Amino acid sequence: MPCSKSLLLLFICLFISCNDVDLIDDYVPPVLRITTPFTEITLGNSYDFEASYFNNIGELIPNSQLEWESSNSEILTINSNGNAIPLKAGEVKIRVKITSPEGEILQDEINITIQSNVVLTAPEEPIEEETEEEVEEELEEETPTTHTQTPTLSITNGISQITANTIYQLELAFQDELGNLAEIPNSTWSSSNESLLKVNQTGTIQAIAAGTVTLTVSTQVSNTIISTQNVITIVAPLVTQVTSFSGKVVSKSSYRLEGGFTLARESDGLVLYLDEDYRASTALPGLYIYLSNNANTTAGAYEIGAVTVFNGAHSYTLPNSIELMDYKYILYWCKPFNVKVGEAKIYD
């Protein structure tokens, strides 16, 4: 029997001695990514650009030291925090750089179009207002008047539209009775709705909120009050940015998984839509869906949840903390057995 006991012991040792590990091949090239997908901005505002650095396993490294630069500092300047101020309309490239711990210089860049914050228009025709005395005089006097002009006041750089939260300086011109440009008499500026647009007495306007206002500037010449008006539409600041990405979910295993997707920024947050052609195998246990920056692992990924729909259109509403460009991949993963079933690249 000692022989049998030894054999039994050998047996047990043989079978319970396994204590190994699985090495996950999770390397991905480090990447720096601008995550504010602006394409058009307007003059008169400043904009905060953001970028994220992901290391060689796709892990977000917070508080990275980024270097921002503009391809044309006459059009746009940007400081070290990514705060950009457009200076004039045009095209500009914004570039961000970082030096990785391995000494590699990583960069990303985007093209930005800067639009003017105002739409210029022709000056309004001057409006002459007459006093009561003048009207009486005209009625009494039957003799023809002399051929002098009525003095005029005009806005030389009038606008039809301005972007909210921006400032613009209006300029005046004054023509005297002889039609000569003359020094502008004291003028009075007023806005029909100061909650939408304010103006000071030097003609500097401050657009506040969307709407339409009539701006009036007037002055008194002798006994005549002359004025001119500028109807201005105030629009919300123009910031055009990418608001959705679409693509295809493809199987990376022998299990069926396919269908189109759209990741879109909606008014109530980010939503992942799966299209009508979506199909997934129901034979697979523990199928989960993730957002990740590493297509080879779910470590560091955001777990959306267990897959409960295997056929047809459906959607996942994501928390507000997630931005459109925070993750690069949608992953379908067999969670219990740590196997990638399929993936979709959200953007290149």
Partner 1 sequence: MKKSLSLLFLCSSLLVHSQWIKEKGTGYAKLGSWSLLANQHFTDQGLTDPNSTRGLFINSIYGEIGIGKKINLIAYLPFFVKNYQFAQISKTTGKVYEPRQVFNGLGDFNLGLEYGLGQLNNWNFSATVTLGIPSGKSVAGVDGSYQTGDGEFNQLIQVNTGKSYTLGNHAFYFKSYLGYNNRSQGFSDEFHSFGETGTQLFNSKLLILTRLHWIKPLYNGTLDASNANGAIFANNIESFALGGELAWNIGKQWGVGFGTATPLFGKVIYKATSFSGGVFVSF
Segment near partner 1 (CB under 8 A); pick from 101-109, 140-148, 162-170, 285-293: 285-293
Residue 303, interface with partner 1 (CB under 8 A)?
no
Q: Which of residues 213-232 bind partner 1 (CB under 8 A)?
A: none
Which member of 12, 89, 105, 250 binds partner 1 (CB under 8 A)?
A: 12
Q: Is residue 16 near partner 1 by the rule CB under 8 A?
A: yes
Residue 164: what residue type? A
Confirm if 197 and 230 have CB atoms less than 8 A apart: no
Contact call for residue 279 and partner 1 (CB under 8 A):
no
Q: Are 293 and 60 in contact (CB under 8 A)?
A: yes
Among 70-78, 271-279, 323-331, 336-344, the segment contacting partner 1 (CB under 8 A):
336-344
Say whether residue 8 binds partner 1 (CB under 8 A): yes
Q: Which stretch binds partner 1 (CB under 8 A): 41-49, 85-93, 120-128, 329-337?
A: 329-337
Q: Is 17 helix (H, G, I), strand (E, B) or coil?
A: coil
HSE-up of 16 (CA within 13 Å, CB side)?
A: 6
Burial of 159 (0-12, 13-18, 19+ CB in 10 A): buried
Instruction: Tell me the site size for partner 1, rule CB under 8 A.
Output: 42
Among positions 199, 295, 297, 329, the unique one binding partner 1 when judged by CB under 8 A: 297
Residues 6+ apart with CB under 8 A from 225: 129, 131, 218, 219
- 56 near partner 1 (CB under 8 A): yes
Among residues 218, 160, 158, the alpha carbon closest in space to that of 190 is found at 218
Q: Interface with partner 1 includes 65 (CB under 8 A)?
A: no
Contact between 31 and 106 under an 8 Å Cβ cutoff? The reply is yes
Please report whether residue 178 would count as binding partner 1 according to CB under 8 A. no
Cβ of 253: how many Cβ atoms within 10 Å?
15
Q: How far is the CB of 303 from partner 1 (least distance, A)?
A: 12
User: What is the C-alpha to C-alpha distance for residues 86 and 201, in angstroms, rounded to an integer?
Assistant: 27
Task: Give contact residues for partner 1 (rule: CB under 8 A).
Answer: 3-4, 7-8, 11-12, 14-16, 18-27, 56-57, 253-255, 281-287, 297, 299, 307-308, 310, 334-339
